[in-house]
Amino acid sequence: MFKKSLILGFGAMVLGFTGFAQDADDEYKLLFIGIDGVRSDALQQQMNNGNAPNLKEMFDTGLFTFDSWHLGVTSSGPSWSDMLTGVWENKHGVTSNNYTGSDYGTYPYFPTRVKECRPNAKAVQVTSWQPMSTNVYNDGWDNKIVPPTDDACAQVAVAQLQDVELDILFVHIDDVDAAGHGNGFNPSVPAYMNAISYADGLVGQIINALESRPNYANEKWVILATTDHGGTGTGHGGNSDDERHIWWVATGYNVPQTEITGVDPGSYQFGTPPTDAVVAQVPVLTDIAVTALDHCLPDNTCIENNQAAWDLDGKSWLEEDNNVYVESYTLQNEFGIYPNPNGGVFDIVVDIETDETFTVVITDITGTVVFQSTLDNHGTYSKKKMDISQYASGAYMLTLTGQNSAVTKKIVKN
C-alpha cells in the first residue's frame, strides 16, 4: 500500500505514471457536498454527541481535518471560489458575495478543467444560494439547479444521482449559515447546532442515493464534504479563529484513512497569497479542487500538459495513484502515531522508502518543546516507542522532520 516512486520538489506538483490505461476515465466520479458556515468545534461536538452520524461515518473512515485554516475573506463567494477553482483570491478575483472582480475566464471552476481532459464528463451543481449560480461563469456545469430550500436541494441531488452518466455533483447546503446569522455561530446555540444536525440528515439522504446507484460497485467515487467558513456572534467575514477554523473530509476510492492536522499559517491579504512552502503541511481550501481534479483525471498526460496553464495553488491529498502529488504528503500519509489518543506511551511509525534520520520534536499547545528524539529510517519501515507519560493530559504536537519534508500531527494524551 505504501509503495511510491521518488518524489520531487517541495511544494511543487509532481506527476508520475501509474498505469491506469485499463480503466475508463468515466468510472472516476466525485460527489462534493458543501455545507455553509459550519465551525469545526460545533461539528465535532455534534458528531461526538451522536447528532451528526452521517458525517461522523465519513470522518471515521476517511481522510479528514479539523484544522483547515481559512486564509482569505471568510465569506461564501471567495471561499467557495477558492475550493472550486483551486486558486487563491488574487487569481480568481472574488473577494465578496457580489462576485465583482471575478476572473473565472482565466481560473475556472474545476469541472471546466476536468472537461479539457474528459470532454464527455457530466457535471451538475445544486444550490439554493442564487449568487453562486448567477455570478459564476466558465464553471463547467452542464446544469445549474437552484431549488428553493435545502430539503429541495437534497431531493434534486438524490434525483441527479439516478443519472448513470453523472460524473461530478456539487451540492450546497445553506441553512446552517442562516441559523448562525439568525441565532449565533456557536456550539452553545441550540438552533445552530440543530441546523448542523439537520444538514447531516440531508448528507445521509444524498449518500444513500449515491450508494444505491445500480453500478455503484464498479464506479470509483470520492465523496468530499467541507464548509466555507465558521462564524462569530451572528456573522463572519473577518479573520477571527472562530471564522477561520474549519474542517473537511473525504472518503472513497484511494482515499487514505488518516487525520491531517496543521499549524495555522495565518491570515493573508488579497494580493499576498501564501507561498507553497507556508501551506505545504496545512490543509487549505484550494486543496479541494486539486484533490477533486486528481481523482477525476486518472490520465496523467492531460494534467501534465496543462499544469503550467492551469496554474493551480492547491495540492491533492489522494494516495497512491495520484497524478498530482506534493512531496510532503508522502510523509503525511506514511507517518503514523499508534495508538492515538494514548496514555503517553505510543509508537511512531514511518513507512517510506528512504535512508535518512528524522528528528522528532513534541511540543505542548503553547509551543514549548517537551520531548526531542530521532528516528532512523533505513529501508522501508521503522518504528520507535515514545514516552511522554510524565506530562499533563491534553493535546501535543509531534513534528517529524526529514531531509526534504516535515510533517506535524496532533497527539492526544489522556
- φ/ψ of residue 253, rounded to 5: -65, 120
Should residue 294 be labelled a site residue for Zn ion when binding is judged by CB under 5 A? no
In the bound complex, what is the minimum distance in angstroms from residue 132's beta carbon to Zn ion? 12
In the bound complex, what is the minimum distance in angstroms from residue 93's beta carbon to Zn ion? 20
Within 174-318, strands assigned E span 220-226, 245-252, 258-259
In the bound complex, what is the minimum distance in angstroms from residue 159's beta carbon to Zn ion? 27
Using a 10 angstrom Cβ sphere, with 0-12 exposed, 13-18 middle and 19 or more buried, the burial of residue 350 is buried
Q: Which is nearer to Zn ion, 227 or 330 (CB)?
A: 227
Residue located via cell numbers 477553482:
85
Q: Which is nearer to Zn ion, 80 or 107 (CB)?
A: 80
Which residues between 45 and 104 bind Zn ion (CB under 5 A)?
A: none
Distance CA 264, CA 261 (A): 10
Distance CA 397, CA 370 (A): 10
In the bound complex, what is the minimum distance in angstroms from residue 244's beta carbon to Zn ion? 14
Stretch that binds Zn ion, among 169-177, 247-255, 361-369, 382-390 (CB under 5 A): 169-177
- φ/ψ of residue 49, rounded to 5: -90, 5
In the bound complex, what is the minimum distance in angstroms from residue 76's beta carbon to Zn ion? 6
In the bound complex, what is the minimum distance in angstroms from residue 182's beta carbon to Zn ion? 10
Distance CA 206, CA 223 (A): 11
Per CB under 5 A, the list member of 150, 167, 174, 177 interacting with Zn ion is 177
What is the identity of the amino acid at 94? Answer: V
Stretch that binds Zn ion, among 173-181, 265-273, 288-296, 298-306 (CB under 5 A): 173-181
Q: Which is nearer to Zn ion, 177 or 242 (CB)?
A: 177
* x-marked contacts with Zn ion along 129-168 as a string, rule CB under 5 A: ----------------------------------------
- With CB atoms as reference, the residue minimizing the distance to Zn ion is 177
Using a 10 angstrom Cβ sphere, with 0-12 exposed, 13-18 middle and 19 or more buried, the burial of residue 248 is buried
Q: Which is nearer to Zn ion, 177 or 321 (CB)?
A: 177
86 CB-side CA count, 13 A: 28
Stretch that binds Zn ion, among 171-179, 270-278, 291-299, 378-386 (CB under 5 A): 171-179
What is the identity of the amino acid at 106? Answer: T
Q: Which is nearer to Zn ion, 75 or 377 (CB)?
A: 75
Selection from 294, 215, 237 nearest residue 37 by Cα: 237
Order of all β-strands in the sheet with 123-126: 143-145, 123-126, 168-173, 28-35, 220-226, 245-252, 63-69, 258-259
In the bound complex, what is the minimum distance in angstroms from residue 287's beta carbon to Zn ion? 22
- Residues touching Zn ion: how many (CB under 5 A)? 1
Q: Which is nearer to Zn ion, 187 or 204 (CB)?
A: 187
Selection from 153, 165, 268 nearest residue 215 by Cα: 165
Stretch that binds Zn ion, among 12-20, 26-34, 175-183, 362-370 (CB under 5 A): 175-183
Q: Which is nearer to Zn ion, 180 or 298 (CB)?
A: 180
In the bound complex, what is the minimum distance in angstroms from residue 75's beta carbon to Zn ion? 7
Stretch that binds Zn ion, among 172-180, 237-245, 284-292, 405-413 (CB under 5 A): 172-180
Distance CA 219, CA 166 (A): 11
In the bound complex, what is the minimum distance in angstroms from residue 181's beta carbon to Zn ion? 6
User: Which cell numbers in the block locate residue 205?
Assistant: 439522504
Q: Which is nearer to Zn ion, 140 or 230 (CB)?
A: 230
Selection from 404, 280, 297, 293 nearest residue 25 by Cα: 297
Stretch that binds Zn ion, among 100-108, 113-121, 176-184, 292-300 (CB under 5 A): 176-184
Q: Which is nearer to Zn ion, 192 or 325 (CB)?
A: 192
Q: Which is nearer to Zn ion, 177 or 219 (CB)?
A: 177
- Do residues 244 and 70 make contact, with C-beta atoms less than 8 angstroms apart? yes
- Do residues 360 and 370 make contact, with C-beta atoms less than 8 angstroms apart? no
Per CB under 5 A, residues contacting Zn ion are 177
